[in-house]
Amino acid sequence: MKKMGAWIAATALVSASFAFLPLKADADAAPGDVIITLGEDLSADEREMILSEMDSDENNTIIEVSNEEEHEYLAEFIPAGKIGSNAISSSKITIKEQDTGLDVETNNIDYVSEGMYANALITAGVEDADIYVTAPTTVSGTGALTGLLKAYETEADVDISEEQKRVANEEMVQTADLSERIGTEEATELMASIKEAIAEENVETEEDLRALIERIADEIGVTLSEEEMDGLVSLFERMQNLNIDWGQVQNQIDHIRDNFDDWINREDTQNFLQSVLDFFSELIDSAQGWFDGGTESESS
**What's the pLDDT tens digit per position in 97-127?**
887 777 889 999 887 777 767 766 776 667 7
Residues 10 and 148 in one domain: yes
Out of 133, 159, 185, pick the residue that ends a domain: 159
**What's the pLDDT tens digit per position in 68-98?**
988 888 888 888 877 889 999 999 988 888 8
Residues 171 and 210 in one domain: yes
How much is the pLDDT for 298? 39
Domain coverage including residue 255:
164-261
What ranges make up the beta strands (E) of the chain? 2-3, 34-39, 61-65, 90-95, 102-106, 129-134
Taking the C-alpha atoms of residue 91 and residue 212, their distance in angstroms, rounded to an integer, is 38
User: What band does 245 get if pLDDT is binned at 50, 70 and 90?
Assistant: low
Angle, vertex CA 215, rays to CA 209 and CA 220, nearest 5: 125
Residues 45 and 68 in one domain: yes
Query: Looking at the domain assignment, is residue 279 inside a domain?
Result: no
Q: How many domains does the chain have?
A: 2
Taking the C-alpha atoms of residue 5 and residue 164, their distance in angstroms, rounded to an integer, is 27
Taking the C-alpha atoms of residue 278 and residue 158, their distance in angstroms, rounded to an integer, is 50
What is the pTM for the complete model shown? Answer: 0.66
